[in-house]
């Protein structure tokens, strides 16, 4: 499936979402508006003088046609992910453990020979690929930021590129087809998702498997994690919406699993239709989502709970300051940015 869309990459600007990023429907329901947020990970040091900083409206939209939850604005990824982008996956123990577990699960599901290539899209500092490399497999990272240099220093072959259809062709010509392609905490970040999936198919061998990990929207609603909503995350998937997206490219989900990373994520294995048996985990999670009934009324309730949470936090902070006590914050800077700027 090829969907022609306007792209923001390299424009230094942003684009309002008027049609669903997966199915192109215009019937988008506004779930939540969090105000105007600056790019995360750009907090000024304590004591620095205030200065002008770009901020972008953060509205959450729901598509009733394909059940995708998505941001209402796409910001140039070169603004959100500049070369000096500071996020490093290797510094977080839960991610290191998760990637080690992913490797063990992968080789138990897929017959992966030592000479077959594993490519990680948005490979960051190479933490995920290091597990495959230690297992004796050929690996290649694709990472647009300077984190690629850290990965190379660790001995992980890495190309400093944004992944798209054009770079997929370049990688296939330079290297070879991949038996496994991974995209963890990045598959929801990239604009023009259909071009990205087509690029993955260009790189993937006939019996290859694509593994993605993304924030899981039902978990976000259940646990009220509205602070994970910011412009890096263009889409918040359910298994239902992922199935809709991948099926448009004749990809079949063969295994799904809820994982604890980033406050609750979903890991999905997908392959060309009929290549592998479909595990019972797919049907079971789809049935669970049906029972959750994330319909219009449930989403309105979610919006109300978010507003009450904000007011409760204000009350807590007001009482602490009124008593003359000090407040310290410890947490992820990206989420802190949403929490601080949500009025």
What residues pair up with 73 in beta bridges, in sequence order?
A: 16
pLDDT of 3 > 50? The answer is no
Q: pTM of the predicted model, to two decimals?
A: 0.91
Q: Take residue 283 and report the two structure tokens written for it.
A: 């049907």
pLDDT-above-70 percentage for the chain: 95
Predicted local confidence at residue 5, as pLDDT: 55
Q: From residue 265, how far is each of 12, 17, 181 by CA, in Å?
A: 30, 24, 18
pLDDT of 45 > 80? The answer is no
Greatest alpha-carbon pair distance for the chain in Å reads 65
Q: From residue 7, how far is each of 54, 74, 76, 253 by CA, in Å?
A: 19, 9, 8, 28
Tens of pLDDT, residues 291-318: 998 887 889 999 999 999 999 999 999 9
Cα–Cα distance, 343 to 340 (Å, whole number) = 8
The residue assigned the tokens 């949403």 is 338
Q: Take residue 342 and report the two structure tokens written for it.
A: 């949500």
Q: Which residues contact 113 (CB under 8 A, 6 or more apart)?
A: 179
Nearest to 21 by CA among 81, 77, 62, 51: 62
Nearest to 303 by CA among 31, 99, 86, 119: 31
In order of their start, the domains of the chain are 1-343 (3.40.50.150)
The residue assigned the tokens 């985990």 is 281
Predicted local confidence at residue 295, as pLDDT: 81
3-state helix, strand, coil in the chain (%, to 5): 40, 25, 40
Cα–Cα distance, 182 to 129 (Å, whole number) = 9
Cα–Cα distance, 171 to 50 (Å, whole number) = 43
Predicted local confidence at residue 285, as pLDDT: 97
Contact status, residue 223 vs residue 162, Cβ threshold 8 Å: no
Across residues 185-213, what is the average pLDDT? 94
Number of Cβ atoms within 10 Å of the Cβ of 175: 15
CA 118 to chain centre: 19
pLDDT of 329 > 80? The answer is no
Q: From residue 29, how far is each of 18, 239, 244 by CA, in Å?
A: 11, 19, 18
Predicted local confidence at residue 43, as pLDDT: 67
Number of Cβ atoms within 10 Å of the Cβ of 181: 27
Tens of pLDDT, residues 75-134: 998 888 776 666 667 667 888 999 999 999 999 999 999 999 999 999 999 999 999 999
Rounded mean pLDDT of the chain? 91
Residue positions counted in the chain: 343
Tens of pLDDT, residues 203-220: 999 999 999 999 999 999
Task: Average the pLDDT over each of 27-31, 237-241, 271-275, 332-336 and give the range with the smallest value.
Answer: 332-336
pLDDT of 4 > 70? The answer is no
Across residues 236-246, what is the average pLDDT? 97
Q: Take residue 9 and report the two structure tokens written for it.
A: 């990459």
| Helices first, then strands: H and E counts in the chain | 11, 13
Across residues 166-174, what is the average pLDDT? 93
pLDDT of 282 > 80? The answer is yes
């Amino acid at each position: 499936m090829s969907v022609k869309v306007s792209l923001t990459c390299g424009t230094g600007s942003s684009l309002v979402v008027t049609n669903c990023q997966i199915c192109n429907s215009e019937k988008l329901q506004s779930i939540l508006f969090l105000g105007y947020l600056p790019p995360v990970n750009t907090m000024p040091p304590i004591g620095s003088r205030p200065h002008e900083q770009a901020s972008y409206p953060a509205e959450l939209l729901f598509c009733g046609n394909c059940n995708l939850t998505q941001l209402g604005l796409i910001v140039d990824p070169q603004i959100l992910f500049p070369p000096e982008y500071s996020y490093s996956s290797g510094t977080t123990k839960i991610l290191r453990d998760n990637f080690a577990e992913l490797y063990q699960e992968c080789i138990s599901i897929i017959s992966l020979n030592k000479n077959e290539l594993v490519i990680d899209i948005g490979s960051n500092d190479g933490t995920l690929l290091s597990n495959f490399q230690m297992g004796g497999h050929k690996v290649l990272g694709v990472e647009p930021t300077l984190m690629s240099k850290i990965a190379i220093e660790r001995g992980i072959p890495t190309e400093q590129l944004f992944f798209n259809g054009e770079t997929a062709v370049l990688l296939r010509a330079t290297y070879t087809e991949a038996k496994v392609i991974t995209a963890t905490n990045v598959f929801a970040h990239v604009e023009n998702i259909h071009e990205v999936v087509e690029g993955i198919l260009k790189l993937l061998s006939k019996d290859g498997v694509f593994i993605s990990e993304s924030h899981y929207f039902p978990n976000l609603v259940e646990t009220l994690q509205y602070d994970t909503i910011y412009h890096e995350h263009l889409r918040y998937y359910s298994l239902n919406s992922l199935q809709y997206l991948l099926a448009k490219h004749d990809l079949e989900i063969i295994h799904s699993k809820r994982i604890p990373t980033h406050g609750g994520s979903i890991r999905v294995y997908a392959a060309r239709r009929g290549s592998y048996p479909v595990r019972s985990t797919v049907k079971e999670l789809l049935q669970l989502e049906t029972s959750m009934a994330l319909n219009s009324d449930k989403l309105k309730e979610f919006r109300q709970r978010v507003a009450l949470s904000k007011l409760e936090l204000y009350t807590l902070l007001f009482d602490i300051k009124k008593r003359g006590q000090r407040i310290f914050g410890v947490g992820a800077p990206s989420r802190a940015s949403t929490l601080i700027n949500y009025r």
